[in-house]
Each structure stands twice: as structure tokens, then as C-alpha cells.
Amino acid sequence: MPKVALVTGATSGIGLAITRALAGLGHQVFIGARTADNVTETVKSLQKEGFDVDGTACDVREPGDIRGFVQAAVDRYGLVDILVNNAGRPGGGTTADIPDELWHDVIATNLNSVFLMTREVLTTGGMRDKKSGRIINIASTAGKQGVVLGAPYSASKHGVVGFTKALGNELAPTGITVNAVCPGYVETPMAQGVRQRYATAYNTTEDAILQKFNAKIPLGRYSTPEEVAGLVGYLVSDTAASITSQALNVCGGLGNF
């Protein structure tokens, strides 16, 4: 029986792969992203592939947008069974030089949004009343260890992991599971931007940064968005019912923690 899934940041990279994976399992997927045109184009493309997908623009930094997004999903498909908090942004630099605006925007996008969206899905989305559900937060291996020149990002993702563990324990008696998926280096448009910023910071080339990053990964390569989505697909399954309050890595062995 199809379930209703919400995915944020769903028009590219990991979010798009997750959307395709969940829709491929037969679920009805309602997607959101900041740019309305991108949402429209993604929905049309996925519908052409035969998937039951719809969506609307949503800036996850804005509580009003979040309320409207969840209500639109309920109006379209019904009460929510699955929430994937994927929307996020990078951010960092030399910490002493980071402006207030950058810090606050990274925290608002990556951490505050996870709380606000989850609360809205539990209430307006009806998950709390269903006594079952799956909440999956896309964190990062940077949520388990510090990242040089990435203090805002690392702090936000540590917050996501802590929120996941606390809420997972809180909701465990209800049948709702809460887990974090922690990608390492994943080949996405965001990853390319990160490499460019590191190349600038270290006065080197993007290719040199890529080689340096690959050398740190025991598997010797970046993970793919589809590999991250595969773990999400498992976590929403019935056989994952006893997995909750966990932060699970998809990182090619980069992090053994």
C-alpha cells in the first residue's frame, strides 16, 4: 500500500535521488525546494517517468512556508507517513572571519528547519495521531566530527544528530522511528561548490582538492546520491521498524564512528 512521503531539498543531488527511490517503491512523494520553477520542472520530469509525485516551493528557513508546505501535502495526498529532512546548505571559512549572517543562515537552513518541519509533520501532517511513521534526517559525517573551515556546517549537523537521537527516544513508544543518515563525500552539485571553495582557500585547483578528498576515503571514491537514497529506502521499510535514534554513515569508510 502506498505511503505518503515528504522530501525537502528534492530537486537535485541527494534529495532528487531519495525522491526517485521512494517513488520507485510505490510511495506518493510530495517534494519541496526553494525555487518554484525547479519544483515544477522536477515534478513534471518525475511524472513523465511514471511516478506519483507532486510538490510546491518551500523555503525551510520560513515557518510560514513550512506550514503551507505540509498542509499542501496533506491536501494533495493525505496524512504523512514518511518525512525526509534533506534540505541543507554548506557554509564555513576561517571561523574568526565568519559573518553573523552566514552562521545564522546555515543554522536556520540545516538545523532549525529540521525541528520546524518535523513538528509540523507530527501535528498538521497527522503523524502523531497515526501512531506510526518514519522520520529521516539527512545529516553528515560532519555531524560526528569537526570539519576544518566548516564550523557552521559541522555545528548544524551535530545538532541534527542530537535532535534525531533525542526525538527517536521520545517517540519510540509510538511506533514512529527517527534516524539520521550521514553521508560523507557525495558527488552532487553542492559537493562541487565545496571543492571550489576549498581550492580558493588553499590556493590550489579543484582537481587537487578532489584527489586529496578521494585519498582520505578508504573506498577511494565519493559515494553516489543513489547509495545514500538506498539507505533511506531501507529505513522506511517494515523490516527497519526496530532501528531508531541512530546516525548511520554512507561514506565509503571515511568515518568509523
Q: What are the catalytic residues?
A: 153
What torsion do the CA atoms of 160, 188, 252, 211 make, to the nearest 10 degrees?
-120
For residue 89, what are the CA distances in angstroms to 81, 105, 157, 233? Answer: 25, 9, 11, 23
Q: Cα dihedral sign for 92, 96, 102, 108?
A: positive
* Rounded Cα gap, residues 106 and 148, in angstroms: 16
CA 155 to each of CA 41, 161, 168, 192, 250: distance values in angstroms, whole numbers, following the listed order: 33, 10, 20, 21, 19
What span, in angstroms and rounded, lies between the C-alpha atoms of 202 and 256?
27
Q: Return the amino acid letter for 159.
A: G
How far apart are alpha carbons 13 and 190 in whole angstroms? 8
Are 34 and 10 within 8 A, CB to CB? no
Cβ distance 206 to 199 under 8 Å? yes
Q: Give me 165's grid cell.
A: 537521537
